[in-house]
Amino acid sequence: MMSKFFFYYSTMNAGKSTILLQVSYSHFQNKMNVIIFTSILDIRYGVGVVKSRKGLISNAIPIYDNFNLFKYVSIYIKHKYLNCIFIDEGHFLKRSHVYQILDIINFFNISVLVYGLRSDFLVEPFEGSMYLMSLAESIIEVKNICFCGKKATMNVRIDDCGKKIISGSKIKIGGDDIYSSVCIYHYFNFNI
């Protein structure tokens, strides 16, 4: 079987982690070995934990800036067969991580499925997303909807009063409490 590089992207609250956990569980049910990775930056549920808003949860290997995915997988497969790799919060990957994913796919013939955001709350690409969009063989949008019913394609960061924030740190971990997924119209016309 040929390996493949997948990037599943969407806005916040679209169910990316839920899909990752469901698909990885299907692999487990079929007696396949998988590794789940996630960013060290998202510690809302603990270090190395992927949890969906629906309550699905799994332990994961945390990825930090200097983490070498290729080296980790190389050591892992010396001891255990590996069928597939899942990565949550893929937008937080560094360029080097994305190229390590390519090496894993090409050297070990293992498929890698990455889930993440396309852009931040200022509609700027994340480093990881930029390289994932450029290098993944299959790019799949996980659909989400705006409060108006149109397709949500943007993430708005909101303050405690529900007003749009237009500056600040690129990375601020949070969920429904600080982000809203909206269509392009409501991104540029939020709070009107």
Active site residues: 89
Residue with token string 């994340």 = 126
Q: Tell me whether strands 179-182 and 61-63 are parallel, antiparallel or unpaired.
A: unpaired
For residue 180, what are the β-bridge partners? 156
Comparing CA positions, the residue from 25, 89, 95 lying closest to residue 63 is: 89
Spatial distance between the Cα atoms of 108 and 134, rounded to a whole number of angstroms? 21
Do 181 and 154 touch, CB atoms closer than 8 A? Answer: yes
User: How far, in Å, CA of 75 to CA of 67, rounded?
Assistant: 13
Helix (H) or strand (E) holding 186: helix 184-188
Structure token pair of residue 13: 């609250």
